[in-house]
């Protein structure tokens, strides 16, 4: 009887631990067929609420060689390359190194930045089609039952198909 009670208690703690950890959300980033045929760089950047310049920085300047913020964020940026022989879908899993860095830095937001070509005007926040701010995968901004975050990038914008809470 005591063994069953202890086993139930331990299992309960494991379940609560998984819920607190964010249920191990996988971030799936998919490039449309049109975009996957081109060479496109995408950065996932995990930041906390004090890193305010990510909301207003010029996306045009960010992609210029030698950009200060681009270089400074290297440690907490996950780089993805679409096009050529690269896959059209990339998954960032809970056990990946970058996710450990984001947890260690207490990242609350994940910026998805895409180097899209075309006529784009710099604008703050999500008004710039080349930038999308979302809650970080392990942040409280997602529902407890959401175990995947689906992001699609085409030649004109970045869209999140998973709705934060």
Concatenated DSSP letters for 34-57? Answer: HHHTS-EEEEEEEE-TT-THHHHS
Strand partners, 30: 89, 152
* pLDDT per position as a tens digit, 36-47: 989 999 999 999
Topology of domain 23-160 in CATH is: Immunoglobulin-like (2.60.40)
* pLDDT value at residue 4: 66
Q: What percentage of the chain reaches a pLDDT higher than 90? A: 81
* pLDDT per position as a tens digit, 54-85: 999 999 999 999 999 999 999 999 999 999 88
- What are the domain boundaries of the chain? 23-160
Model's pTM, two decimal places? 0.86
Question: At residue 110, what are phi and psi to the nearest 5 degrees?
Answer: -120, 120
* pLDDT value at residue 60: 97
116 pLDDT higher than 50 = yes
* pLDDT value at residue 84: 85
* pLDDT value at residue 151: 98
Strand partners, 91: 28
């Amino acid at each position: 009887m005591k063994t069953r009670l202890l086993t139930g208690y331990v299992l309960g703690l494991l379940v609560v631990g998984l819920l607190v950890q964010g249920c191990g959300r996988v971030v799936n980033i998919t490039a449309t067929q049109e975009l996957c045929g081109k060479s496109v760089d995408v950065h996932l950047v995990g930041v906390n609420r004090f890193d305010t310049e990510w909301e207003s920085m010029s996306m045009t300047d960010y992609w210029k060689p030698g950009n200060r913020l681009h270089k400074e964020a290297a440690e907490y940026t996950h780089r993805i390359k679409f096009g050529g022989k690269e896959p059209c879908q990339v998954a960032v899993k809970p056990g990946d190194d970058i996710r450990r860095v984001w947890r260690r830095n207490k990242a609350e937001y994940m910026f998805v930045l895409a180097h899209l070509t075309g006529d784009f005007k710099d604008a703050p926040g999500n008004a710039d089609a080349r930038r999308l701010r979302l809650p970080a995968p392990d942040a409280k901004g997602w529902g407890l039952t959401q175990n995947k975050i689906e992001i699609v990038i085409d030649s004109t914008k970045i869209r999140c198909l998973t709705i934060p809470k």
